[in-house]
Structure 1
């Protein structure tokens, strides 16, 4: 809810557009791309998900909610498939609303078992996925280990570098492996949006895939073949000397 700024979203209690926010962990500066879960807004979700290095699949643990999400037409299933299809190869599964299940170990294990089966069908290796039981509302296992689930001994996942372990969702985020990013190649930056800002001008926004973008560069937009100079580059309202692959930037042209 904190991420949902649009009035319509607040009133309906769902995420319609994608929102970019940043936070810092002990290890990374993370850009959260909050993508809509509601099926009417699946196009917006695709825009957001295609820019991610790792997907966090939030599953509602409540009775009936999980079952609806993984049913044949359920959104949990569809989102996992879309994430994999769009090239997001790392996944974290957070089982939310554990407070409504009275912190049930059986319910958590049931959800892990079912979820592992369908993410495997999609293409993910469940052994490389951290499964974390959380309560977003109460904050359990988000940043600190929860006293409400003493049965939970933490998550483990297999990586190329060996087995990684942790307890919380924050630990799981810090265990994401940054992909190798080709900054030595020509600039390629798919646009997510273009803003016209009074007093500043045109500000295209998107994620740098390859190469580097910085002030003074001459860039060409396709398919219109318009060429122009980059005046400045920003990320999260802060001026950048250069935008590197993986950065969600806005640049003034």
Structure 2
């Protein structure tokens, strides 16, 4: 198109040049008698403008025939991601390095953190300090409270939540996980480190279980510290097999989970495929919406399926301080309890942001954990492996809803002895206490009004 735009003006002005420069040449005699070149007698400036506008208009007209009209790009979707895993698995370092690589924090700030960390003898914590801001966190080298940070990928606006891995701060991890659309489970590949996390008392198991219980149905597994095992393929395959077997037991389908070998400190497989792991051919996930594949952690994040937000339903917000509620009925599955659970048992119940002791007021029935079929009425106790319909009484004000109406406010974990002993969903909420008072006042107020009408 650009050649077409220039060809005719160039030919014309070339002939015009010869005609005026060499008036006695053959070109002059051949062209002066021609009608076309009679325009040589016109003003050169007018001719230039004439050809410029004519050919520009033609160029633009033809361009619009072959190109679609310009449209504004669609705004990116927002997603929430929580980073979970065993203590010292490298969650904060991996998250901080990812934020840095995605442009969420500048190089000068990282250099400042590096200098301050070296002064405290913790030079390897420069990326972790992006999120660990409390003095106690930096001194102890562990995450205590959840930390949030925003950055952008090619597909999403991301709010990433760094959750603590230490057992003592599990309630903070639960608060962060309850807000997430996808969880990134960081697993340390180091010899002994992985085994400690995946053991019965390790937080790798419990964090994965809590994530699924709290409704986080999408999972990415980052196998971290690959540099500490010299990027060994055999160790990677061993960890993938072990983690796959466990997450399958709690409800995740390993085929829908991306396993990415990374080094949170060095940045391997974060944004670019690592040259240290040529054996890694990439991850592949299968799901109803369509399969996805890639090699890096950022590609795994971009492969997340954004959840459908229930924007057509009334707004519900989890609160830390709520008005009093009476009882609620829930289906509870006992996972791991050393003894028998009977009426009067009062463990801590974790639901959204609430961590409140709830009394097992009445074990109504024992049921089949798969089909839900009733097995026994009013059992004296339940034990590990049993499922039951239980009436629960919160010891403090608590805001809950039936799982069928509002899933985020209707699922919970039961914790006792510093471990998750049961999980459950709320079937019905008894709001009669507050409603009864309100109804009573309304009826009393309505009675004089009816009498006045009569």
Q: TM-score scaled by structure 2?
A: 0.42
Alignment of 1:65-144 (within 5 A): 65-144=193-272
Aligned to 2:293: 165
Aligned to 1:191: 319
Change (3 A) 1:191 1:21: farther
Alignment of 1:145-160 (within 5 A): 145-160=273-288
Aligned to 1:9: 137
Separation in 2, partners of 1:44, 1:181: 24
Separation in 2, partners of 1:177, 1:14: 31
Structure (1 or 2) with the greater strand fraction: 1
Separation in 1, partners of 2:215, 2:315: 20
Separation in 2, partners of 1:30, 1:133: 21
Alignment of 1:192-211 (within 5 A): none
Aligned to 1:10, the other structure's residue is in SS state helix
Give the number of aligned pairs. Answer: 198
Residues 138-168 of structure 1: CA deviation (Å, up to 9, x unaligned):
0000111100000000000011122210110
How big is the shift at 1:189?
1.7
Structure 1 unmatched ranges of 5 or more: 194-205, 208-221, 225-253
How big is the shift at 1:223?
7.4
Residues 93-136 of structure 1: CA deviation (Å, up to 9, x unaligned):
00000000100000000000000000001110000000000000
Q: Does 1:49 align with 2:156?
A: no
Of 145, 152, 158, 1:30 maps to 158
Q: TM-score scaled by structure 1?
A: 0.75
Change (3 A) 1:154 1:192: farther
Structure (1 or 2) with the greater helix fraction: 2
Aligned to 2:187, the other structure's residue is in SS state strand
Separation in 1, partners of 2:173, 2:260: 23
Aligned to 1:20: 148
Query: In the alignment, is the contact (CA less than 8 A) between 1:47 and 1:192 conserved in 2?
Result: no
Larger Rg: 2
Separation in 2, partners of 1:192, 1:121: 32
Change (3 A) 1:185 1:154: same
Change (3 A) 1:192 1:172: farther
Aligned to 2:184, the other structure's residue is in SS state strand
How big is the shift at 1:191?
3.4
Structure 2 unmatched ranges of 5 or more: 1-127, 322-351, 354-396, 400-454
How big is the shift at 1:183?
1.1
After superposing on structure 2, the runs of 4+ consecutive aligned residues of structure 1 that deviate more than 2 Å are: none
Aligned to 1:60: 188
